Amino acid sequence: MSASSSESPGAAPVREAAARLAAAARSGVACEPVAPLLQPHGIDAAYAVQSLLAAAAESAGRRVVGRKIGLTSAAVQAQLGVDQPDFGLLFDDMEYGDGQEIPLSRLIKPRVEAEIAFVFERDLDGERPTLGEVLNAVGYALPAIEIVDSRVRDWRIGILDTIADNASSGLYVLGGTPRKVDALDPVLCGMRLDRAGEPVSVGCGAACLGNPFNAVAWLARTVARLGRPLRAGDVVLSGALGPMVAVAPGDAFEARISGLGRVGAFFSGE
């Protein structure tokens, strides 16, 4: 029997979708949506694309340092016809510090959103960690700006496109003021995102699955079930606290999250 005839029915579309997204990432030229390739095989095929691309990234020397959670807004879930979040991987070369210049040449059509980042100080083992176990494993929280991006042209994405495309990940910026989570009210903490001193997005922790810890607990259970549990040192971007905002060359953003402080991101025109 030939190798092609022994493949699972979704193997060829998964490879084609991965190749299309990888080419877009290399060239900086967005591709057409990959959902038509994956629709007969569903969300599992989209995660298979993500895994294939992640394996190639790790083989090239990139290192997984955490996860990002997407689709944490009930309104966005309803729009895309899903009833749960999704997730992508954070790699070591995606991270920027507060105020570091970010070259737009690394991105295609970026947008920013303010989030709470959680950093784990203990491994989280077990197939179904409880919320209490998750809280016990988290070391501290930081204000963060996630820079989302899409390898799909003009953000014409559905659930299959965004999952396959590493949950539409781009880069992320972490603030420098860590706070212990027992001093944080993650539900009521207010967020304001400014561009050049003017507010462009506002929200609060309740916008993230009702409580950002709900999102982190969902992620912990999901990745544990997949055999890649959260480990000490992992960063988790828990989901947007307000609407995302498009980025233009020279833009300077500052996010303030009550109880956590501020974090800034500046985009060069390169």
CA 41/CA 96 separation, integer angstroms? 36
Average pLDDT over residues 103-110: 96
Q: What pLDDT is attached to residue 9?
A: 56
pLDDT digits (tens, 9 = 90+) for 31-58: 999 999 999 999 999 999 999 999 999 9
Is pLDDT above 70 for 15? Answer: yes
Q: What pLDDT is attached to residue 8?
A: 67
Dihedral through CA 264, CA 265, CA 268, CA 270, nearest 10? 160
Is pLDDT above 60 for 4? Answer: no
Indicate the average pLDDT of the chain.
92
Q: Is residue 251 part of a domain?
A: yes
Owning domain of residue 233: 64-267
Q: Is residue 77 part of a domain?
A: yes
Number of domains in the chain: 1
CA 54/CA 60 separation, integer angstroms? 10
Q: Is residue 261 part of a domain?
A: yes
Average pLDDT over residues 22-38: 97
CA 138/CA 233 separation, integer angstroms? 9
User: 112, 253 in Cβ contact below 8 A?
Assistant: yes
pLDDT digits (tens, 9 = 90+) for 130-166: 999 999 999 999 999 999 999 999 999 999 999 999 9
Least confident of 5-14, 131-140, 169-178, 193-202: 5-14
Q: Is residue 175 part of a domain?
A: yes
DSSP SS3 for 239: strand
Q: What pLDDT is attached to residue 5?
A: 46
Q: Is residue 141 part of a domain?
A: yes
Q: Is residue 176 part of a domain?
A: yes
